[in-house]
Amino acid sequence: MIAIFKTNVNTHIQAVTITQLLTLRFSPERVSFDLEDCDRVLRIVGPVIPHSEVAAILCEQGFECAILD
């Protein structure tokens, strides 16, 4: 499964922090950010990606997160 989210993560350091948190929580196959995209896209590849939990983790860190179809 691939989950794609729109975020407001702006820097590489922020992306690394979020990636580490998501990896610890979900053990996904891959987590990546595209900070060059206007939507600051977060992609998570793994067997089960609970969208609401991903959004909650980003929100707890002060970021916005919305699922992209």
Per-residue confidence band for 69, with pLDDT thresholds at 50, 70 and 90: confident
**What pLDDT was estimated at residue 58?**
97
* pTM summary value: 0.94
What's the CA gap between 14 and 1, in Å, rounded? Answer: 24
The reported pLDDT for the residue numbered 64 is 97
CA 30 to chain centre: 10
What domains appear along the chain, each with residue ranges and CATH number? Answer: 2-67 (3.30.70.100)
pLDDT in tens, 28-52: 999 999 999 999 999 999 998 899 9
At 3-29, the pLDDT tens digits run: 999 999 999 999 999 999 999 999 999
